[in-house]
Chains A and B, each alone.
Chain A
Amino acid sequence: MNEITATPAAAQPPAGCGARSLAIARTGARCFFVAPALALLAGCAGERTQSALHPAGPMAADIARVWWILFAVCTAVFVVVVLLMLLAVLRRGGHDRFRSPLGDKFIVVSGIIIPTFILAPLLFLSLGTTSNLRMPETSVTIEVVGYQWWWEVRYPDFGIVTANELHIPVGEPVRLEMTSADVVHSFWVPELGGKRDLNPGITTTFWIQADRPGVFRGQCAEYCGVQHAKMGFLVVALPVNDFATWVSERQEPHPEPVDERLLRGREAFFTGQCHACHAIRDTGATARVGPDLTHIGSRLSLGAATVPNNRGNLMGWIANPQPIKPGNLMPPTYLETDELHDLTDYLMSLQ
């Protein structure tokens, strides 16, 4: 029912069976886990929108590569050791009661020497991949501030403030400077890379890069209170030109509403006390308690990637967001029905 990612800009290649040979191979390997028939069913059941095994950026790709190496090594070790163990208990020895045919030498070789030779390369794999994933040269910097339970997204170079959505240019590494306004959160977009915590009082840096256009879902990975589960966000990767267009469109001042409804809606924004928590550029509303609504009309989702953004959902959210995202910090808004309609129209007009 939540089809946030199925927006026009987000034509994501399906990850089902038969899409690409690589995908088939990986689905197959995944199927090896459970009974193959079941996994085939599950692997093809539908599109997975947050899978670390479908990398869309260099960091995620590197990590996925590390995973397949680890998977191969560990599977081999597992199979060999379990076979040894079964052999140990099933083979009938008929040996001396108090002596095993295997002694300390066996233990030293198979328990110390061989593991060392397996583990040492893994350490180098860890070292190598980590240094490979150091922050590259970046052209775009985005500041991300975690709040209970949404994300403030700021583009200091462009003067854009938005929420729960990061627009990035395809193929370019983007620098993230992150902190938290309250408790610890963690930024995670599985298809683009690993995660990094947002710590109050500390600024952490991180980077993301998408190699293909699309909408990638992310969510908070560090438990942060009641609605940790619904603290999602979207990364919208746009071709470089589209990104430039997006930026310039966001920088345009909103045209002064001419429509009566929109003017009434803007009024309702203040009479309904929305401005106590939310900011809208150039209106005098500057509060930073809740998400900045300057571009709310163009956003793909509401409630931090909880429901798709459309007129019905927005109006429902304004009237009472609690049924949609129980425990979130926004109270119900008490407005007359037509005020609510006007307000919704006004907000939808804010591109």
Chain B
Amino acid sequence: MDWFPLYNSIRIALISTVIIFFLGIFAAYYIAKTPRLVKGVLDVFLTLPLVLPPTVVGWLLLRLLGPKRIIGAWFLENFDVKLTMSWWSAIFATTVVIFPLMYRTARGAFESFDETLAYSAQSLGLSNSYIFWQIRMPYCRQGILAGTVLAFARALGEYGATSMICGYTPGRTATISTTVYQLWRTNEDRSAMKWVLVNLAISFVVLLAVNMLEKKNRAGKKGVL
């Protein structure tokens, strides 16, 4: 069995998770501080990929990144790089699709933060970056971790936008989900089932981890109060 799709799926999921970990937290932290109207608008906009069909996301991405479209053409001209149809093109798709998961869980975690902790820390002379990394993040740790794991799981399973932006080339852009589709289409049911089982196993472990984190989170909160 050729394990490339597993390896490819995992590296795509890992890289996009690292990106949205910072992007999601950054967005959640700063958007929470904006005025209500701005917050409402940004919130809708940033959550949109969660409810849009992945094919719509894929189509929109192709409109931007395709070799003849604004961004795609610019990169092709200046760097001689084609943004679509390579293995890392999938990262664009997964990043957009999983961003709302991270953004929303991080925001939920930040909203539960007791601001008096930050106020006290400020008046004790602690810098804002110290407060963020040593007080706010540890306080919200479990929520953020749960969001990260969930986002990773979703990235691993992304199909629609991924297949549109990088297609299916065995050994180059194939991921687990595109491989399953391809195998099913070509009537290789036994091979498809292997990949289905692999995917099920990974998702199972990830969701178990999320559940355990959430439970720990609840227990931790009780302790704090």
A and B are interacting partners = no
Interface residues, chain B, with chain A CB atoms under 8 Å away: none
